[in-house]
Amino acid sequence: MTIIYLSFSIVARQAQAILESSGSGAYDKAITELATLKKYYPSITTDEGTHPFTECASFADDIKGQGYKAQSDWHFIDQPYYSDAGTGASDFPDFVYPASVDVISAITTCVDLLKGNAIDADNLYLQQLQEWFSYEDDQKSFALRLIIHYVGDIHQPLHAVSEVSSQFTDGDRGGNDEWVPNKDGAGNMHAVWDSVMYTYEGYPNTVSLL
Looking at residues 121-132, what average pLDDT do you find?
Answer: 98
pLDDT digits (tens, 9 = 90+) for 70-89: 999 999 999 999 999 999 99
Residue 209 lies in a domain: no
pLDDT of residue 4: 45
Residue 46 lies in a domain: yes
Residue 173 lies in a domain: yes
Tell me if 6 sits within 8 A of 54, measured CB to CB: no
Residue 56 lies in a domain: yes
Residue 136 lies in a domain: yes
Residue 105 lies in a domain: yes
In total, how many domains does the chain have?
A: 1
Residue 101 lies in a domain: yes
Tell me if 114 sits within 8 A of 140, measured CB to CB: yes
Looking at residues 129-144, what average pLDDT do you find?
Answer: 98
pLDDT digits (tens, 9 = 90+) for 164-191: 999 999 999 999 999 998 887 788 999 8
pLDDT of residue 210: 46
Domain span including residue 109? 7-203
| pTM for this prediction | 0.91
